[in-house]
Chains A and B, each alone.
Chain A
């Protein structure tokens, strides 16, 4: 019997993991401001965990969510309360908090059984607003809108006190998330989710239980967002309602779309692309663009993101991962260019 990954070369994965492990050392050797780059990478790592889950929901299943910053917030606040106020160890919270977020995912999954598209997007957006109000209302635990200080992650007595330590914690979780996301995507569940996305009627006719799988994917997506939330809270050390606004949810959608929906690697690429663009390249481009056009520096980021979204949707809807696959096929068939062959 043919095994699942028989056709795929997986030799590059250990190389990539070693490269991820060595990256901080390389950065330290290259620049004195390596701590800043590590911080940016840590943020990307946390967002990767979340966008992998969002990709399963929006990319694989076609269910739009504009409430993922709220899932992130629930994970962050739950863990902060569990660890700092209830007193449970961080490692336990890393498992319990995502489960709680997953249950909130199930809650949102209910309306998804009856509504889709724009209406689901608006429902999830409404969920985001409700969560924000609830955080303010439960000020006894959350300190309201004033924000909450959160402790460092501590695992088996080791305290993750710096961006360097956090990097290894975050990217260990990110690698596990990507592997888990890939496994789910390639499994029976993944195939059922894609069938639902392509045609609900056809999926149901072939025996896919719509309600079960829709609820399940919301739960799974909540789990991923929960893990991201736990890491977000304990590596940021401070959380407030201002961290989790609607714009962040839109950024997550942009990350998935730019990377290429319904591809886990695409979610990773898209997240890295957007975060690095936002924190490393836009600041470099700001002065150039400001010199060329009379635009306020604050508007340049919105302008660039809008432009990128527009260009990807119009010219490359399969995203960065689609681009990579095309390049791979082109290279494989070289010198027999597939486009020329079609002509």
Chain B
């Protein structure tokens, strides 16, 4: 009788493939197919070109060195024009038609939020969504068990910035210029927490995505006697805000959230950008962090033009490192469930750029800390350790 039961168990294991791992969509003998959705034709199209290029730089390096358990990584990039509906369509195509193994580095908060129902339905994990919105690691939301965030959220970044300003000047009058969209929404969440904690009131000035004139916002901050301004913009906004302030004879201390960390800001803002302090959730691309050294070496080898190198290109590179580490831990017979389980074994994993990353069943935030970077003599310098 025991023999018969044993035979049935063996047959069952073989049928289910438990002994050797079931074949998962996107996995072949020699390839792992992953899907990426970027903004290639919308308001963030500039980043849409940089992020996948940075990721491919690392995937090429891994592929040249034998791939992940002998499989080459191949990435398909789709365009969503920063429209959530198009992001859903692109994800459906990648999952249903192209049969990708997982989604990776999808850009934008609302496009990522729109993907939650598809992720839940298909069981496809989303690794390193390219948004610092804290909502990405909210474990109470749909499909949260399938989303692995790598970046410290905007809400935490804003709270850290307010704390930092108040630690230097307890009487500081703080103002914030924020994009009136999902990004700004998360920044305001952090602002509200910081206000409650410190018992202060932060002056809020909104702008619409794509705005190029900030004279009104700067005039209001000036009128409100604001001494420290946090700019929750991307690249061009801090440049224009700081130059407008100089033109209006207004000289507060300027700070920025992580998207304003781009080194081109200090180049374009010139003297107006002196002293600009921003937060970042990873080491600098031109620092001596292990990932940065490898990145620069590979950029040189691959002939990456100087204008492409920088924070965003590097961001693609280091999130690719997280994905590859997850795939390595998944083992020789990857399935989507095994990838999720493998990522949840990360415990203070140091990839060489991010602060130590930890994931578990109850926490997919990855990192909680940032560094402060200040522009001095036109050059970005790290002025703090990792701050939580």
Contacts and interface: CB of A to CB of B under 8 A. Distances in A.
B113 A297 contact: no
B41 A302 contact: yes
Interface in A108-143: 136, 139
Contacts, number: 98
Contacts of A298: 39-42, 45, 48, 79, 81
Nearest to B48: A298
Contacts of A236: 85, 88, 114
B388 interface: no
Interface string B87-103: 01100110111010000
Contacts of B95: 36
B89 A237 contact: no
B49 A240 contact: no
A243 interface: yes
A139 B84 CA distance: 19
Nearest to B111: A242
A145 B184 contact: yes
A222 B120 CA distance: 33
Interface centre among A32, A242, A248 (most CB of B within 10 A): A242
A238 B117 contact: yes
Interface string A277-311: 00100010000000000001111011000000000
B142 A39 contact: no
Contacts of A149: 116, 142
Given A36-B96, A147-B110, A243 B85 contact: yes
A9 interface: no
A248 B185 CA distance: 23
B45 A238 contact: no
A242 B108 CA distance: 11
Contacts of B113: 146-147, 238, 240
A33 interface: yes
A40 interface: yes
A42 B92 CA distance: 13
Q: Which secondary structure dominates chain A's binding surface?
A: helix
B167 to A, nearest CB: 29
B227 interface: no
A35 B89 CA distance: 11
A78 interface: no
Interface residues of A, number: 34
A144 interface: yes
Contacts of B89: 39-40, 43, 279
Contact of A145 (B96, B114, B185): B185
A81 B181 CA distance: 20
B116 A242 contact: no
Given A144-B185, A297-B40, A242 B83 contact: yes
A247 B184 CA distance: 22
Interface residues of B, number: 38
A145 B45 contact: no
B40 A242 contact: no
B205 interface: no
B226 to A, nearest CB: 23
B84 A240 contact: yes
A242 B49 CA distance: 21
B186 interface: yes
A241 interface: yes
Contact of A36 (B39, B83, B97): B97
A245 interface: yes
A146 B116 CA distance: 14
A299 B41 contact: yes
B82 interface: yes
Interface in B40-97: 40-42, 45, 48-49, 79, 81-85, 88-89, 92-93, 95-97
Given A36-B92, A146-B135, A298-B45, A242 B182 contact: yes
A145 B180 contact: yes
Nearest to B189: A146
B83 A146 contact: no
Interface in B177-196: 180-182, 184-186
Contacts of B96: 32-36
A237 B121 CA distance: 12
Interface in A248-296: 248, 279, 283, 296
Contacts of B135: 146
B186 A146 contact: yes
A145 B92 CA distance: 24
B97 A242 contact: no
Interface in B15-51: 39-42, 45, 48-49
A36 B116 CA distance: 16
A255 B118 CA distance: 28
Contacts of B108: 242
Contact of B40 (A33, A136, A296): A296
A71 B108 CA distance: 25
Contacts of B186: 146
A296 B49 contact: yes
Interface in A221-235: none
A32 B88 CA distance: 18
A147 B92 contact: no
17 contacts: A33-B93, A40-B89, A43-B85, A144-B185, A146-B185, A147-B113, A238-B113, A240-B84, A242-B83, A242-B181, A242-B182, A243-B114, A297-B40, A298-B40, A298-B48, A299-B41, A302-B41
Interface of B: 39-42, 45, 48-49, 79, 81-85, 88-89, 92-93, 95-97, 99, 108-111, 113-114, 116-117, 121, 135, 142, 180-182, 184-186
Interface of A: 32-36, 39-40, 43, 136, 139, 144-147, 149, 162, 236-238, 240-243, 245, 247-248, 279, 283, 296-299, 301-302
